[in-house]
A and B are shown apart, each in its own frame.
Chain A
């Protein structure tokens, strides 16, 4: 049971836009920055978004992040087949005194 709640799967057609939600609480998302990681099949996770909505160098601007209260979202526009991956939200939890991850969301590009 993950501390952060994500939908297990989402799907959308190519060139469309999809959002992935991440729900937490006041001890984690409500008080700390949210990060998003992309994990392509068989690969290590890769940082996609940090500080709620900042893109690391080299990450496509088709990816965007947002946060409101105790929830965060990852949006991917102009979907491409290579976006098929597992996406994880993460943040710090003040009560657990360490990082926490969501359960992951599998994105399928139809």
Chain B
């Protein structure tokens, strides 16, 4: 059974850097075709993809946020870390990590972590 759980601060101040950790079990991030992604959801709004890291350390970022994001993995600890710099109140959202499966025709997120609400406020 695959599970993921996000952890990190619930409150950050504007201009600070946010660091979120996704701790997972039930799969290895060294297995071909596997990845972990970060997705966020502002209150009452839609899902927004942020970043992806694959088993081979290939990394992808949302073009609109690329300059502020860094995603890394620690295979031995079963963790993926996302950092987002220069936080702003508009970054207030629930942040999810999710297991990514890749196939010949596409990829999908399943399952998702429970999410963690991050509020940006002074």
Given known contacts A51-B103, A96-B63, A44 and B112 CB-to-CB distance under 8 angstroms? yes
Which of these, A32, A33, A44, A50, contacts B96 with CB under 8 Å?
A44
Q: How far is the CA of A32 from the CA of B104 in the complex (A)?
A: 10
Within 39-97 of A, Cβ neighbours of B (below 8 Å) are at 44-47, 50-51, 56, 88, 90-92, 96-97
A24 at the interface (CB under 8 A from B): no
Q: How far is the CA of A88 from the CA of B45 in the complex (A)?
A: 11
Residue of A whose beta carbon sits closest to that of B115:
A44
A99/B111 in contact, CB under 8 A = no
Q: How far is the CA of A32 from the CA of B107 in the complex (A)?
A: 9
| Residue among B106, B109, B111 having the largest count of chain A Cβ atoms under 10 Å | B106
Given known contacts A45-B47, A46-B111, A99 and B105 CB-to-CB distance under 8 angstroms? no
Binding site for A on B (CB under 8 A): 37, 39, 46-49, 52, 60-63, 96, 103, 105-115
Binding site for B on A (CB under 8 A): 2, 32-35, 37, 44-47, 50-51, 56, 88, 90-92, 96-104
Closest 3 CB pairs of A and B: A33-B106, A47-B110, A50-B108
